[in-house]
């Protein structure tokens, strides 16, 4: 036996789901939606506009990314 075959190969790293980025976008978008539109906390009033805009960007981006990933992996 040579040196290369006597060593055990390490197992490959676990495969990450292609929807991880989509879930992060959606989660952060929903959090911003809550802080911008739903919460009644007066301390968050200073950040409401930022959260409203961010939720209006992140949630549609997450939906678009979901369908893009779904279409990509449906072809395989």
pLDDT digits (tens, 9 = 90+) for 7-58: 788 888 878 899 999 999 999 999 999 999 998 888 888 999 999 999 999 9
Domain that holds residue 48: 17-75
Residue 10 in any domain: the answer is no
List Cβ neighbours of 30 (8 Å cut-off, separation of 6 or more): 55, 59
* 11 occurs within a structural domain: no
| 75: pLDDT strictly greater than 80 | no
**Structural domain contains residue 3:** no
pLDDT of residue 76: 63
């Amino acid at each position: 036996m040579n040196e290369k075959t006597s060593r055990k190969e390490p197992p490959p790293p676990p495969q990450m789901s292609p929807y991880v980025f989509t879930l992060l976008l959606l989660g952060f978008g929903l959090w911003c939606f809550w802080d911008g539109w739903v919460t009644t906390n007066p301390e968050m009033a200073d950040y409401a506009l930022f959260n409203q805009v961010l939720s209006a960007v992140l949630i549609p981006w997450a939906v678009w990314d979901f369908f893009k990933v779904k279409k990509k992996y449906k072809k395989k």
